[in-house]
Structure 1
């Protein structure tokens, strides 16, 4: 008589069921893990794209701002001349034509900030138009630039930041060419350590070293000219430079 087939024990059946359930749980876990990895990868990709866009956009922004500044009309920057709180232009006898002092020598000027006087043998680079407190040359260096026909606009180093920005924008309206008399412009900060005497209630002082164009080397005909203003005004600077052009300097073609 044939023997009966053995029946699967309950234990064997449960083990098989448990294995299937375990595999299902593992598959579900792996699917969830991969989904989370994809989500994180997409998030990281999105962040990278945003950072790349920002890195690309900032130089473009700087270029556009610089282009706008260079393309701007000087008279449109800052307040109008009538609103700038400017004193009348003053003139007085100039001193120091071709009087050089050794680098490092501290010169005491009759006017502060100066508009003429003894100075260092070499001027500041003719292609730089704006200085901050971090990179400004010595006062005596910039006086040499005055002798060569530059309009130097001295500004308080404590002047409001928005006005300093306006002055820098004005400086960008001039080209980097040193041979163009119309572009002989420098803006430079003045601090208390440079000397007392900056006009009370004023933030900028426009200065020029004037000479008689028909006899520029005659010091008795030379004048220091200046105009102090409470606020930055491109229009005031434009009018000042038109009245005292770089060609009417002791050494307008000096280098």
Structure 2
């Protein structure tokens, strides 16, 4: 009698298991997906999308760095020479950009002091300051109003006097050379050019972070004022 009762219990357990499996499988015989698999799949898809976006943005040019220009050399010429006027020994077309960001420039005795100028400085002079890792901000006095000039002046004077993050090599000058600037404001570092339609100190900060000191002679003078 004990054996028959045990066999009956085992048959009922198997029947219960079979019924449970049928309910899980459903009428189609296909098991429903586990919610955990759905969650893992969703996380993987989101991760792939993020990776693709990161790669796309990383491979594109950084607008804050400006445009990289050709290397026009670093030949020294006599102080007072204006190379864009094709004065000897510069030769014709010594610069591939306007304003120039490399190329023939005054010898070391003609380095400009860092700071803001109200009168146009010689382009061939300031290239040497670029070679020493500085940033030169040119502006068209006919397109930048007095408020804009004042804001640029304050920006440069603050940088030069405070040496923010160790950066003090800045020059601001109106454009007075041959030809017209490509934009109301043209910001140059060695072989780099950023064009601005209006004063944008955020863009100036970003350009500086990307390019300041990236020049053949970054330790060259003049030193900080005072």
Q: TM-score, normalised by structure 2?
A: 0.59
Which residue, out of 132, 135, 143, partners 1:148?
132
Q: How does 1:1-255 map to 2 (within 5 A)?
A: 89-97=66-74, 99-108=75-84, 109-121=95-107, 122-125=110-113, 128-133=114-119, 136-158=120-142, 159-176=144-161, 181-191=166-176, 194-199=177-182, 202-209=183-190, 224-246=191-213, 248-255=214-221
- Alignment root-mean-square deviation, CA: 2.4
Structure 1 runs not aligned, ≥5 long: 1-85, 210-223
Q: Is the 8 A contact 1:120 1:140 kept in 2?
A: yes
Deviation digits for residues 3-35 of structure 1 (CA, Å, limit 9, x no counterpart): xxxxxxxxxxxxxxxxxxxxxxxxxxxxxxxxx
In structure 2, distance between residues paired with 1:181 and 1:251:
16
TM-score normalised according to structure 1 size: 0.53
Measured in 2, the distance between the counterparts of 1:116 and 1:100 equals 11
Gaps of 5+ in 2: 1-62, 85-94, 222-226
Is the partner of 1:188 in helix, strand or coil? strand
Moved over 4 A (4+): none
**Other structure's SS at 1:124 match:** coil
CA contact (8 A) 1:118 1:140 kept: yes
Relative contact order (alpha carbons < 8 A, sep ≥ 6): 1 or 2 greater?
A: 1
The alignment partner of 1:95 has SS state of: coil
Q: Higher Cα Rg: structure 1 or 2?
A: 1
How many residue pairs get aligned? The number is 146
Residues 97-129 of structure 1 deviation map (CA, whole Å, 9 limit, x = unaligned): 2x111123221222111111110112102xx31
For 2:151 and 2:96, the matched residues in 1 are separated by 29
